[in-house]
Structure formats: structure tokens, C-alpha cells
Amino acid sequence: MNQSPSSDPREGGPKPPFEAKKQPFPGYESEMNPAPDYGEHYKGHGQLKGKVALITGGDSGIGRAVALHFAREGADIAFAYLCEDEDAKKTHMLVESAGRRAVAIRGNLADPKTSEKIIAKTVDAFGRIDILVNNAASQRDAVGGVEELSDERVRDTFAVNIIAMFALVRLALPHMKPGSSIINVGSIQAYKPSPAILDYAATKGAIVAFTKGLAQELGPKGIRANCVAPGPVWTPLIQESFPPEKVAHFGEGNPMGRPAQPKDLAPAFVFLASDGAQFVNGEILGVTGGGLLA
């Protein structure tokens, strides 16, 4: 029997060494070489037809890939972003080119009022929320250790990465019905924390606990909560937060010999948002290329 050839995951994206480049905060997709692969080849199968998804951090990186894949699966998309207007325009275009409606919402999640604005604009546009993807995260420059982490930086990281997540879930739930899905974005950093970004890693550990507890509360209401935990992923966040020499070798130690591309993460979100995952609740789905979560 003839079999179609399988794709070698080691060859699914560029390998280091990369351009040794450092970007200013918050990092821009348009400045990256090689450009991240968001999966523009992806063909949907109607798994999310007629649903409404809200994605934070949707201008680039994992968020853009998820927006594209969800739209190709039939969902309308609202997405929030910090200030990367040009990157956000591209995400907006990709969603509309898939024949779905798109709403882009600009705002800083460190400000509590931003969460209120994001939910209000999504509901104003679409009337409800079926899928909430809490993807936005702050990861600042790598440092030499905990003594270099100021109180201000730690507060800001927690405000964006976990406190806003509590607020978005609280505000979204009145607009979610049984069958809805919440997908939080954790990280391998929750299990293998790097001292250089310990504030970021600590928030990812909190997200794991938040997800598991939330699933226990919401399961009886017919709403699922799960978490995707990526390993190294080639996104603007990398060039914004790491020194050039680390950027050049980013993902080199992964068992696949490369970092993930955003397209490698998005199918996990499609699965967790779909009815195919109806009985998946409170899970941490690692997409790490073989990096161990435990």
C-alpha cells in the first residue's frame, strides 16, 4: 500500500543560527528575519463555524497564527494588542481574507480599564464570546538574576500576564454560554523557569494553577478551561527580550533542533476550541518539540 510521505518536524521551520538582532520593546514582526510562519497555507474544515473568538496579543506571534487558523475554521475574530498598529493591520487583513469579520482593539492590559474595553467592544460587535484566548504577555529584557528585577517590573509583568487574565475571564463569563471555551497560554517556563526572566516564569506558573482551578469551577456550567504551554517559539517577543547572541542561537537546544513557528502552535488551539475537545478540561497541552513539562 502506498503511503503519503510524512513531514519531518525538524524541517518545519528555519533553524539557528539566526540574525543576531535586538529589537526595542514591544518588538515587531515586520522587523524579523526570517519572518515568523503563521500558517498561511492552512486550510480550515469548519470546526469553529459561526463562533466568536476573542484573542489577546493577536497582532503577531502565536496570537496572529491563532486568529488566522480560527478564521479559516469559520470563526469571527476580535483581537487585542498593545501598540503594534502595522502588525495589527496585517492580522485584520488575514482574518477578513478568510471571509470572516475582524475587530482590532488597542490597549495596555496593565491598565484595568483595558480589560473592560476589550470585552465591551467584542460584545458590541458580535453579541457574545464563544472562545476566549488569553495569549497576551509581557516578557522584558533578560537580567542577571532576581536582584535585578525591580518591584515596578514585577508588578507590570504580573498585571499583564495574570491579573488581566482574571479580569478578562470575570468580564467575559456573562457573555459565554455552555459549550464555550477558555484557552490560556502558559509556557514551559512554568516547569523549567529561567532565572533571567523569573518574573515572566512565575506568572506562567500562576497561569497553570489558574487554569486548573478555573476548570473545576466552570466545568459544571458547561464551559471548559485549558492551557497551551509552548516551548521556544520564534516571535517578536524573542528579539525584544533577549540579547543578540541568544537570539542568534534561539531554539538550538530543542530536540527538534529549531524553535517552533507560530503555525506549529495554532492547531492545538483549534483542537481545544472545537467540539472535538468537548471532554478536555483543565489540561495543560505542551507544544514544546520535546522539551519536558515535568
Residues designated catalytic = 200
For residue 34, cis peptide bond before it (omega within 30 degrees of 0): yes
For residue 33, what is its C-alpha cell?
528575519
How far is Cα 293 from Cα 139, in angstroms, rounded to an integer? Answer: 20
Dihedral sign of CA atoms 152, 158, 159, 163 in order = negative
Beta carbons of 273 and 265 less than 8 angstroms apart: no
According to DSSP, the residues that pair with 52 across neighbouring strands are 76
Residue 265 corresponds to which cell in the numbers above?
Answer: 502552535
